[in-house]
Amino acid sequence: MNNNSQPHNLEEILAGYVLGDLDEEELAWFNQQLAANPQLRGQIIQLESTLNLIPYGLPKDVSENNLNLRSQILAQVKPKGVPFKFRWSWIISGVTAAGALLLGINNFSLRQQVAMTEDRLHQQQELISLLRQPNNRLVALRANNDAVATSGSLFISPQSNTAVLTLKNLDSLPGKQVYRLWAISQDKKIGCSNFIPNAQGEVHLNVSSDDVLNASSISITIEPEADTEKPLGQEFLSGSYAEI
């Protein structure tokens, strides 16, 4: 079977096929060989038989524990030749059951949609009441490097003691790396929050830290791990409250 001019050892490729571990290139080669020589099927069947003999090697101490599985199985086998009307009744009850199930699923999904809509409405009402408050401020965040596509803003509502950080086009980070928000006041940088973007590269972060509310500017860095005391990574996004 082994032919030195071939890119693969045919026997090993057949074994790999039975074990389900061929890569794309090996599979393509295997299919070519099989098309050229359909008798290889015989070898595949033999290898499948061999692989499935492995359970015979299992220890005998694992037993049925005297359970009467045999009679339980035979008691559940349905004899053939069930009268015709019974089959129809099965089909009708099957269709009815499937219909009821579909209606149930439909009902459940409708209730979920209503709950989600109520939830969204509630969030929007909260947002509107937040936006209506006086003294709100919006800080635009700018990338320090033109190559960075990330943009966003920090919305500050001093009356509600709340700030909301919104960012888009953030890259996901490898390993333990996180994005970290820093509040800058009198040249002192205070770490406020770690975050990572969602699958769409977006961040919506509620920040209630006094440090952010009372800062003169904020910046965002990429840190090697969460909760660093001083910024170790380069600042790539920043915004100054004074610009408002």
Partner 1 sequence: MINSSDRNQVTDEAVFADFKRGDISALGILYDRYGLLVYRLIYRMLNNSQESEDLTQEIFLSLQVNTKFDPQRSSFYTYLMMLTRSRTIDRLRTKRSQGRFWQNIGKLKDSIEQHKSYSPMEVISAEEISIQVRNALQNLSSNQRQILELSYYEGLSQSEISKRLNIPLGTVKTHSRRGLLQLRRNLYNLAIQK
Q: Which residues bind partner 1 (CB under 8 A)?
A: 11-12, 15-16, 18-19, 21, 45-58, 60-67, 69-70, 72-74, 76-81
User: Given the complex with partner 1, which of 36 and 67 has the nearer CB atom?
Assistant: 67
Q: Please state the closest distance from residue 67 (CB atom) to partner 1, in A.
A: 6
Token output for 165: 């950080």
Q: Lay out the sheet containing 137-143: strands in order across.
A: 188-195, 178-185, 217-223, 235-240, 137-143, 151-157, 162-168, 203-207
User: Given the complex with partner 1, which of 78 and 176 has the nearer CB atom?
Assistant: 78
Q: Please state the closest distance from residue 2 (CB atom) to partner 1, in A.
A: 11
* Residue 176: DSSP 8-state: T
CA–CA separation, 60 vs 39, rounded Å? Answer: 37
User: For residue 219, how many other CB atoms are within 10 A of its CB?
Assistant: 20
User: Given the complex with partner 1, which of 35 and 73 has the nearer CB atom?
Assistant: 73
Considering Cα of 221, then 230, then 193, then 128, what sign does the dihedral take?
negative
User: Given the complex with partner 1, which of 69 and 115 has the nearer CB atom?
Assistant: 69
User: Given the complex with partner 1, which of 73 and 147 has the nearer CB atom?
Assistant: 73
- The residue type found at 131 is L
Q: Please state the closest distance from residue 15 (CB atom) to partner 1, in A.
A: 4
What are 140's strand-pairing partners? 153
Angle in degrees, CA 208, 212, 213, rounded to 5: 75
Q: Please state the closest distance from residue 14 (CB atom) to partner 1, in A.
A: 9
Q: Please state the closest distance from residue 13 (CB atom) to partner 1, in A.
A: 8
